[in-house]
Chain A
Amino acid sequence: MGDNSAGLVSKSLAVFVKDLRLELRSRYGLNAIFMFGITTLAVVSFSLGQAALPPKVLGALFWIIIFFSAMSGLAQVFVREEEQQTALTLRLTADPDAVFLGKLFFNFALLILMAAVITPLFFIFTDASTAGAINFLVILFIGIIDLCAATTLVAAIIAKAAVKGALFAVLAFPILLPMLIALTLSSEKIMSGESLSEAAKMIQFLIAYAIVMITASILLFKYVWQE
């Protein structure tokens, strides 16, 4: 029936814009993510005092902060639909693929926004070397794609479970761990001033991971969304 792909893009965009608008008006997810990120960063910085940390630890710390901030705010996009009873209305009127893509992109935007604030603050507070700044941003970007690729489906799953709370982190963590390992390892290399080619293997892994996770998510989403 005609222009299906263009239709999907515009429908996904509609979902994305709607969620963005809702978020800007209620600021629920944004608040959670930012407050969590900044609080954790402050705690880290305070505990460190003047001590300098080796790149390995800095890399790990950075991704711990990003991971937990993500956990506090990425489930919102699905949970809100269930709580406000708009999920059924959406299910009646929307193509599941469009729902997933729109919300995937929303989570992506949320993470980018969070990273844009947390990353410079992190470098300031921990006085980390900005030698490989551009390279670090590349890793960060890929990492964010991986993060939302793996967690958006899980968010849809827990929105349908009775107990929300810690379940999101419990379900998401084992799936994210391989990716987090690759991210900390490559961050460590970059922060030690090495070039991107040194971390090439990990970057390939991260890209492959993103592709696999997004594909699997799109295929499986229908089964979570529909009843």
Chain B
Amino acid sequence: MWWKYLLFLGMSVIIWFSFTTPAPQQVIGEASRIFYYHIPQAWICVVAFAMSAYYSVKYLKKRNPLDDDLAADSARLGLLFCLLATLTGAVFAKVTWGSFWNWDPRETSIFILLLIYGAYFALRSAVEDEERRAALTSVYAIFAFVTVPFLVFVLPRMVPSLHPTDSVISKNLKFTMGPQVRTIFFSSLTLFTVLFFWIFNILKKTNSIRRKMETSAV
């Protein structure tokens, strides 16, 4: 319980520092501050998708309706962070490169993730029978997740990109951030992750209670 407050404090501190310390990337300038938000959001988006796929696998094995609830809720959270990442990305793109959307590979990847989430929920609303809905959406979540490695790793290498590829991780996979930037960035990353799992935990408890109520009411 107490760590909720720590999370709040931590995030406030990081937000403060993200604006008051020197901009992380000198060439791009002030707009590069968005890097403290945009990248964690994109990261959480993928983590949420992975969790959705994980609970989908669990559901198909054990057929516990709670696992399907969790798969859907992870997807909801993932969709939220995906929207945030897309928005922050678009703002950054407008400020730095002049237009909101360019179809550069990472933009395309986040757009595809958005479409996958949309498709997942479209499928959920199209199937009425609970068991069938759970099974079909689980399969789709897993199948769609299999394409993610292609999106994240292969696609950007195939197509020339606008994204600053060298500013965070250089070709030798070494971090090119200064120590201060590194601290703020990784703190932000950690705090966002904690935030995600906190919300997810609340949803998990709610779902558990709801399922228990259903089985005892009958």
**Chain A residues at the B interface, C-beta cutoff of 8 Å:** 153-154, 157, 160-163, 167, 170-171, 173-175, 177-178, 181-182, 185, 201-202, 205, 208-209, 212-213, 216-217, 220, 223-224, 227
List the B side residues contacting A170 at CB < 8 Å: 118-119, 122
- With A163-B126, A223-B135 as contacts: A181 and B159 at CB distance below 8 Å: yes
Looking at A153, A157, A182, A209, the one whose CB has the most chain B CB atoms below 10 A away is: A157
Residue contact B155 to A178, C-beta cutoff 8 Å = yes
Residues of B122-149 contacting chain A, CB below 8 A: 122-123, 126-128, 131-132, 135-136, 138-140, 142-144, 146-147
Asked if B116 is at the interface (CB within 8 A of a chain A CB), the reply is yes
Is B150 a contact of A178 with CB atoms below 8 Å? yes
Q: Which residues of B contact A167 (CB under 8 A)?
A: 122-123, 126
How close is A172's CB to chain B, nearest CB, in angstroms?
8
Kindly state the separation between the CA atoms of A227 and B123 in the bound complex, as whole angstroms. 17
Give 14 A-B contacts (CB < 8 Å), ordered by A residue: A153-B143, A157-B136, A170-B122, A174-B115, A174-B144, A175-B116, A175-B147, A177-B108, A177-B112, A178-B150, A209-B150, A216-B143, A216-B146, A227-B131
Contact status A223-B139, CB under 8 Å: yes
A213 touches B158 (CB 8 A): no
Q: Decide if B151 is an interface residue (CB 8 Å cutoff).
A: yes
Are B127 and A160 within 8 A (Cβ)?
Answer: yes
Closest to A182 in B: B158
The answer to whether A157 and B144 have CB atoms under 8 Å apart is no
Besides A175-B143, A175-B147, 16 other CB < 8 A contacts?
Answer: A153-B139, A154-B140, A157-B136, A160-B136, A161-B123, A174-B116, A174-B119, A177-B115, A178-B150, A182-B158, A205-B154, A208-B154, A217-B143, A220-B142, A223-B135, A227-B135
| B84 touches A (CB below 8 Å) | no
Binding site for A on B (CB under 8 A): 60, 108, 112-113, 115-116, 118-119, 122-123, 126-128, 131-132, 135-136, 138-140, 142-144, 146-147, 150-151, 154-155, 157-159
Q: Residue A181 contacts which of B108, B115, B123 (CB distance < 8 angstroms)?
A: B108
The interface residues of chain A lying within 8 Å CB-to-CB of B158 are: 182, 185, 201-202, 205
Task: State the CA gap A160–B139 with chains docked (Å).
Answer: 12
- Nearest chain B CB to A175's CB is how many angstroms away? 6
Contact A175 B144 (CB under 8 A): yes
Contact A178 B147 (CB under 8 A): yes
Inter-chain contacts of B126 with A (CB < 8 A): 161-163, 167
* Shortest Cβ distance from residue B155 to the other chain A in the assembled complex, whole angstroms: 6
In the complex, A167 Cα to B123 Cα: how many Å?
A: 7
Shortest Cβ distance from residue B3 to the other chain A in the assembled complex, whole angstroms: 36
**Chain A hits for B118, CB < 8 A:** 170, 174
Chain A's nearest CB lies how many Å from the CB of B65? 15
Please give the distance in Å from A135's CB to the nearest CB on chain B: 18
- Contact residues in A for B115 (Cβ distance below 8 Å): 173-174, 177
Cα–Cα distance between A201 and B159 once the two chains are bound (Å): 10
Chain B residues with CB under 8 Å of A208's CB are 150, 154
Output the least CB separation between A151 and chain B (Å): 11
Given contacts A162-B127, A163-B126, A171-B119, contact A157 B140 (CB under 8 A): yes
A220 adjacent to B139 (CB under 8 Å): yes
- The docked-state distance in angstroms from the alpha carbon of A223 to that of B119 is 19
Nearest-neighbour CB distance to chain A for B37, whole angstroms, equals: 25
Q: Report how far A220 CA is from B144 CA in the complex, Å.
A: 12
List, in ascending order, chain B residues with CB within 8 A of A171's CB.
119, 122-123, 140
Shortest beta-carbon distance from B200 to chain A in Å: 23
**Which of A161, A201, A212, A216 has the most chain B CB atoms closer than 10 A to its own CB?**
A161
Q: How far is the CA of A202 from the CA of B135 in the complex (A)?
A: 34
* Residues on the A chain within 8 Å of B135, using CB: 223-224, 227
A178 near B151 with CB under 8 A, answer yes
Return chain A residues, CB-CB under 8 Å to B140.
154, 157, 171
Q: For the complex, what is the distance from the CA of A185 to the CA of B108, rounded to whole Å? A: 14
